[in-house]
Amino acid sequence: MYKSISLLPDSSLLKPEFTFGVATASFQIEGARDKRLDCIWDTFCEKPGAIADQSHGDVACDHVARWQQDVEMIADLAVDAYRLSISWPRVMQQDGSVNEQGMAFYVQLLTALKARNIKTYVTLYHWDLPQYLEDNGGWLNRETAYKFKDYAELVTQHLGHLVDSFATLNEPFCSAYLGYEVGVHAPGIKSQQAGRQAAHHLLLAHGLAMQVLRKNCPSTEAGIVLNFSPTYPLTEDDKKAAELADQYHNQWYIKAILEGAYPSLLDDLADEVKPIIIAGDMAIIRQAVDFIGVNYYTRIHYKNTADGWFEEASLTDVRVTDMGWEVYPQGLTELLVSLHQQYDLPKMYITENGAAMADTLENGEVNDIERVDYYHTHLNAVCDAIRQGVNIQGYFAWSLMDNFEWAYGYEKRFGLVYIDYQSQQRILKESAKQYRALLKQR
């Protein structure tokens, strides 16, 4: 177990041009629900049994009220950059006009970060779809992709000059598969066809927003953030299951974006499951991107099913995080190298990587040594991938602070900073101190 985060002296990550940051998402930290429109997560939180601890995002980390303190905290960590997301229902009214108060919040926040020389990596969509759009079909409605284009237009007009890097979507896999196919995330729909259709419309939205970003912010880099859980066969006989799962969960998104096509698995799906794809859609989706953000937490093993499909298989006797996810740092190296071999990649950022641990606050301190070890091993896994030729230019720890962990509510803590939800006190964990120490010695 590593008790500090260290890199070899010749590590590419220590070069001045490599970007280190921390990341958050709007719904998970902001609170101030009364100052914005409802989103699909507000509604989902009201469903009995949807959230593990029956909580919601009404207050969360109270970031809208405490943003100045939080900016100081980010600056204190010695990071180069902060990755955040804009809340669509906070900045835009139902009639398409700007919510002045909501937009002013982001102007102040981004301006304060700029004043401290902290680069801003802004995600346009981190899952908080306005509820009025869901009432009209949400991501199953093709029109939502065009509404997203309008939203991108509004944000770039007001905030474009303050942003260093734009990502269109965060993890469209989660929005589509978890939200519309298996229903464990908002809006809670369970339908394979819905999952495939939502995925297509999300990618269409990405392509349309990329066009807006190129037009309105031609000198600002723009891309997308995708999550990957590399797939491994449980036994030698399960290779087909791992391959199918990889196409369905991982390659579905990156292949469409970089090559304008879905994996061959699409042809094998039943006709009633296939998404409706209109002529010209794949060309819109395949906009040139300046970067791909990679979110990595763990790998997943798969086994064949009797009907020739795949299902997850869990390993016993492996180290896991508080989410039950295997700690497997070399999976990050293997993922990055495989993507590098498979595609003509733009530059890459590790936009999320981190671990939920069962943190305890004792005498005002959180000694999260397992998380320190996680960061040490995964940062070195990034170094290994760079040595093998992958162009990785930044790393963002997930997350800056403990927050609303979606269907798990406040039961799971991913933060470098501990949040006491009763007092809203922010307490730097040992991992935050170690991360800061690494960054300060560059």
- Using CA atoms, how far residue 361 sits from 136, 357, 419, 420, in Å, is 44, 12, 10, 9
For strands 221-227 and 392-398, give the pairing.
unpaired
b/e burial code for range 283-303 (CB count within 10 A of at least 16 → b):
ebbbbebebbbbbbbbbbbbb
E strands, 187-299, in order: 221-227, 231-233, 291-295
Task: Find tokens 């339908």 and name the residue.
Answer: 191
Classify residue 206 as left (phi > 0), alpha (psi -120 to 50) or beta.
alpha
Q: Residue positions in the annotated binding site? A: 28, 126, 170, 297, 398, 405-406
Cis peptide before 399 (omega within 30 of 0): yes
Whether 143 is catalytic is no
If you write DSSP's letter for every residue of 117-132 in order, what string do you get?
T-EEEEEEESS--BHH
| Per annotation, catalytic residue among 181, 221, 326, 352 | 352
Whether 352 is catalytic is yes
Task: Find tokens 């002529």 and name the residue.
Answer: 279
On whether the CB atoms of residues 202 and 279 are closer than 8 A, the answer is no
* Alpha carbon of residue 59 to chain centroid: 21
Beta bridge partners of 222: 166
b/e burial code for range 40-62 (CB count within 10 A of at least 16 → b):
bbbbbbeeeebbeeebbbebbbb
| Per annotation, catalytic residue among 30, 134, 171, 334 | 171
Classify residue 243 as left (phi > 0), alpha (psi -120 to 50) or beta.
alpha
On whether the CB atoms of residues 94 and 139 are closer than 8 A, the answer is no
* Side chain identity at residue 440, one-letter code: K
How many CA atoms, within 13 angstroms, populate the side-chain half-sphere of residue 417? 24
Q: Residue positions in the annotated binding site for substrate? A: 28, 126, 170, 297, 398, 405-406
- Count other C-beta atoms under 10 Å from residue 145's C-beta: 21
Rounded-to-integer distance, Cα 140 and Cα 365, Å: 46
Beta bridge partners of 21: 81, 396
Active site residues: 171, 352
